[in-house]
Amino acid sequence: MIHPVKVYDPSGKLKKVISQKILNRRSDQICLNPTLFSKQVKGRKKKIVTIV
């Protein structure tokens, strides 16, 4: 079960709340395309291994 996430700014004020629906959608997208999870890095490109 995924709980909603509250995002605060440095002063401690609530900026936004990320709902369960959006978090579930993001996790589904990451499962389908794991490159969304990795950061872009300068230098050599990594080989992406796909699991079939």
Q: What range defines the domain where residue 30 resides? A: 5-35
Length of the chain: 52
Residue 31: the pLDDT is 83
Residue 2 in this model has a pLDDT that exceeds 80: yes
In angstroms, rounded to a whole number, what is the distance separating the alpha carbons of residues 15 and 49?
37
CB atoms within 10 A of CB 18: 14
27 vs 2: CA distance, rounded Å: 10
pLDDT at 52 over 80: no
pLDDT reported for residue 51? 73
Evaluate whether residue 40 is within a structural domain: no
Task: Indicate whether 29 belongs to any domain.
Answer: yes
CA–chain centroid gap for 9, Å, is 19
Residue 28 tokens read as 């589904």
Residue 14 included in any domain = yes
pLDDT for position 18: 94
Q: How many domains does the chain have?
A: 1
26: in domain: yes
Examine the pLDDT at 10 and tell me if it is beyond 70.
Answer: yes
